[in-house]
Homo-oligomer: A and B are copies of this chain.
């Protein structure tokens, strides 16, 4: 139950679940939606689930929740890494996964209109037929929803060049906490009428409104791409090479770093042999009319640091390399219980961050694996503990806290793309300060005075 809502004002979820269409109080349904992929396990289950199939279903559920003062937790595909869609006793989950239709694709305007439950990879497959792509590509592309991507402002590999979700969302249709429908943004590329409510909704983790439709900007598939896999003696060398790419004023579309232990985990899961080729790995892609020329310059920039370089001969080879990177987290999940960090640092301080993480691992005795969206300075230090251990208490939590302090000491942030959810609230005030949090709560109160939408998350 969220900290925004005083327990005494909470109403009874039974009244909501009795009246709502497509509601379930089955144990199996409740157990299936009580957490995400963060490793966080709530103490209890939510009281029930509403499986919305239409905007009307959402409006009805929200109005009922508002009338009865019952907290509602929007849920996309449940792949989040911040416990932002976790729900427990007293709360009702609003599941949006059945609203999964692509409503239109306009190849001339390069725009798609989708329901929130559409999976990221599903959209990308559909628009690829028109020679287009939707830029934000979380590694979870096959299993995460556009609505969840919007609510977390998800990033991904291609964001190095194309920006995060915010840069690809033109407009939204949102159900507010009182059931009113709000349209944000517009169908045009540019526009400045009024405040940027579109950006305000993006990344708000379901606390300001429920996204029921999104108008997305697509981009032409690049005419050419060039891909290289570079292996380094160690992760410090790989980080230095990544900084050299930025310093060389290049604009790779992908620049991903994977450390040695993670390579070994990938090898174990996929049967590959990356780890034998180096103690760390950098995957770089350039695209556009000058892809190969730009790659030549990139290779020159990183060559002094490398142990081995593999330039992909074709798209199949490139795709295999991207898949290896995408499988990093699932591979680690096979080794134990994971907690996935998401710190951001100024790009030039990547090497310091990597060294600092190794120190933390040594000090706390916790295993930390590191992958990074290197061009953005966004690292995913992944804590792996034994399956019976907790990642939200004890040494793992201590290590997480040290990570955030490391990021902040380097002028960085505690979350680059996964969000705050329940998991990172303890460190939020340190980063944002009192005034910022006060302003955020004031906005939240202005939009959701009863605090029924995903209380206790995000801010």
Q: Which B residues are in CB contact (< 8 Å) with A416? A: 188, 190-192
Query: Considering the chains assembled together, what is the distance between the CA atoms of A411 and B191 in angstroms?
Result: 12
Q: Mark A170-196, 1 if CB is under 8 A from B, else 0.
A: 000000100011111011111111111
Given contacts A200-B195, A289-B289, A440-B195, contact A189 B376 (CB under 8 A): yes
Q: Is the CB of A197 within 8 A of B346?
A: no
Picked from B203, B249, B377, B420, the residue with its CB within 8 Å of the CB of A131 is: B249
In the complex, which residues of chain B have a beta carbon less than 8 angstroms from the beta carbon of A432? 183, 193-194
> Is A418 in contact with chain B by the CB < 8 A criterion?
yes
Query: Which residues of chain A (130-166) have a CB below 8 Å from chain B?
Result: 131, 152-153, 155, 159, 163-164, 166
Cβ of A459 within 8 Å of any chain B Cβ, yes or no, is yes
Decide yes or no whether A443 CB sits under 8 A from chain B.
Answer: yes
User: A451 within 8 Å of B by Cβ?
Assistant: no
Copy number of this protein in the oligomer?
2
Contact check, B196 vs A346: say whether CB atoms are below 8 A apart.
Answer: no
Q: CB-nearest residue of chain B relative to A163? A: B167
Bound Cα distance from A187 to B183, whole angstroms: 31
Cβ of A411: which chain B residues have Cβ within 8 Å of it? 187-188
- A376 — which chain B residues lie within 8 A by C-beta? 188-190
Chain B residues with Cβ below 8 Å from A459 are 194-195
CB of A290 within 8 Å of the partner chain:
yes
Tell me whether A52 is interfacial, beta carbon within 8 Å: no
A108 within 8 A of B: yes
Contact status A378-B190, CB under 8 Å: yes
Contact with A200, one of B166, B196, B290 (Cβ below 8 angstroms)? B196
Q: Most chain-B CB neighbours within 10 Å: which of A199, A223, A378?
A: A199
Cα distance A223–B290 when bound, in Å? 11
Q: Quick check: B435 and A180 within 8 Å, CB to CB?
A: yes
Complex CA–CA separation, A181 to B432 (angstroms): 12
Chain B residue numbers with a CB within 8 Å of A187 are: 346, 411-412
Complex-state Cα separation, A414 to B419, whole angstroms: 34
Q: Mark A431-442, 1 if CB is under 8 A from B, else 0.
A: 111011101101
Complex alpha-carbon distance, A112 and B173, angstroms: 36
Interface residues of A in 360-414 (CB under 8 A from B): 373, 375-378, 411-414
Interface size class of A (residues with CB under 8 A): 35 or more
In Å, the complex CA distance between A404 and B74 comes to 37
Residues of B within 8 A of A108 (CB): 243, 246-247, 348
Q: Which of A12-53 contact B (CB under 8 A)?
A: none
Closest Cβ of chain B: how far from A36's Cβ, in Å?
A: 15
The residues of B that contact A194 with a CB separation of less than 8 Å are 420, 428, 432, 436-437, 440, 458-459
Q: A347-B109, A435-B182 are in contact. Are A192 and B419 (CB under 8 A)?
A: yes
Contact present for B436 and A197 (CB under 8 Å):
yes
Residues of B within 8 A of A155 (CB): 190
- Residue contact A191 to B288, C-beta cutoff 8 Å: no
A91 CB within 8 Å of chain B: no
B431 in contact with A193 (CB, 8 Å): yes
Which residues 256-302 in A have Cβ within 8 Å of B in the complex?
286, 288-291, 293-294, 297
**Which B residues are CB-close (under 8 A) to A100?**
none
Contacts of A286 in B (CB 8 A): 289
Q: How near does chain B come to A286, taking the closest CB pair, in angstroms?
A: 8
A110 part of interface (Cβ distance < 8 Å): yes
Distance from A289 Cβ to chain B, minimum over Cβ atoms (Å): 2
When C-beta atoms are compared, the residue in chain B nearest to A111 turns out to be B346
Structural contact, A344 and B446, CB atoms closer than 8 A: no
Q: By the criterion CB–CB under 8 Å, are A109 and B167 in contact? A: no
Q: Is the CB of B182 within 8 A of A439?
A: yes
Q: A447 touches which one: B110, B192, B243, B439 (CB < 8 A)?
A: B439
By beta carbon, the residue of chain B nearest A375 is: B189
A213 part of interface (Cβ distance < 8 Å): no
- In the complex, what's the smallest C-beta–C-beta distance from A434 to chain B, in angstroms? 9
Contacts A193-B415, A194-B420 supplied; 6 other A-B pairs, CB < 8 Å: A186-B412, A195-B200, A195-B440, A289-B293, A289-B294, A290-B293
List residues of A whose CB falls within 8 A of some B CB: 108-111, 131, 152-153, 155, 159, 163-164, 166-167, 176, 180-184, 186-197, 199-200, 202-204, 208, 219-221, 223, 243, 246-247, 249-251, 286, 288-291, 293-294, 297, 344-348, 373, 375-378, 411-420, 424, 428, 431-433, 435-437, 439-440, 442-443, 445-447, 458-459
